[in-house]
Chain A
Amino acid sequence: NAGVTQTPKFQVLKTGQSMTLQCAQDMNHNSMYWYRQDPGMGLRLIYYSASEGTTDKGEVPNGYNVSRLNKREFSLRLESAAPSQTSVYFCASSEPWGLAPNEQFFGPGTRLTVL
């Protein structure tokens, strides 16, 4: 099992350019997440998907869009990149919580720099 995979690992964009970050998981999880990690800020949730075809905004959704293409894949799109979006982006997945919370499994991250 590869777990959660993300592409690309690194990306440099110019202000105004667009790009899509790809994420896939092979654990048959229903829930998937996109986070950004910034120094001193911890991880902040950008978007969340409870199942195929559903998405929900997180704490910092502005400037981003997402697509839950199928159960495996959850992509994050920056339509017009801004320097404030320079960050490390993590995708995660988990089983939906029932009686007890389940841990999230994280991908290796994408380091994005916007010039």
Chain B
Amino acid sequence: AQSVAQPEDQVNVAEGNPLTVKCTYSVSGNPYLFWYVQYPNRGLQFLLKYITGDNLVKGSYGFEAEFNKSQTSFHLKKPSALVSDSALYFCAVRALHQTDKLIFGTGTRLQVFP
């Protein structure tokens, strides 16, 4: 069965430092992977997706994600964190044989300190 794991419940980083939010996946077939962000009291917003091709995917708000097939990972990164990046981040994978459905991870809370 398709699944994603976000091993860290919370990530703390100082403003201006690089940040990484980790995601690993388990899929049958080609992985279609997504990152979403949820700001307080809001719905989820799409950040970026990996379908095929370049392993480094660029997305909204300066975020990027690196697809690593050998490590089955899809980590979210940003070179310089902002306090406004503080939010809940979700990794998601396409559900097997169900093209329009996604399976979400449990989420990682990113806290950026001034």
Interface range, A side: 20 to 34
Please tell me which stretch of A14-22, A62-70, A77-85, A93-101 contacts chain B, meaning at least 4 of its Cβ atoms lie within 8 angstroms of it. Answer: A93-101
Closest beta carbon of chain A to B110's beta carbon, Å: 15
Chain A CB within 8 A of B113 CB: no
Query: In the complex the two chains form, is A101's CB within 8 Å of B90's CB?
Result: no
Chain B CB within 8 A of A75 CB: no
Pairs A-B, 7 closest by C-beta atoms: A106-B43, A103-B46, A43-B104, A42-B106, A97-B99, A42-B104, A106-B44
Q: Is the interface of B mostly helix, strand, loop or mixed?
A: strand
Which residues of chain B have a CB within 8 Å of any CB of chain A?
A: 9, 32, 34, 41-46, 49, 51, 90, 94, 99-102, 104-107
Chain B CB within 8 A of A45 CB: yes
Given the complex of chains A and B, what is the CA–CA distance between A97 and B99 in angstroms?
A: 6
Query: In the complex the two chains form, is B51's CB within 8 Å of A101's CB?
Result: yes
Given the complex of chains A and B, what is the CA–CA distance between A9 and B41 in angstroms?
A: 10
Given the complex of chains A and B, what is the CA–CA distance between A101 and B97 in angstroms?
A: 12
Could you give, for residues 85-115 of chain A, a 1 whenever the CB lies within 8 Å of some chain B CB and a 0 otherwise?
A: 0000010101011001101111111000000
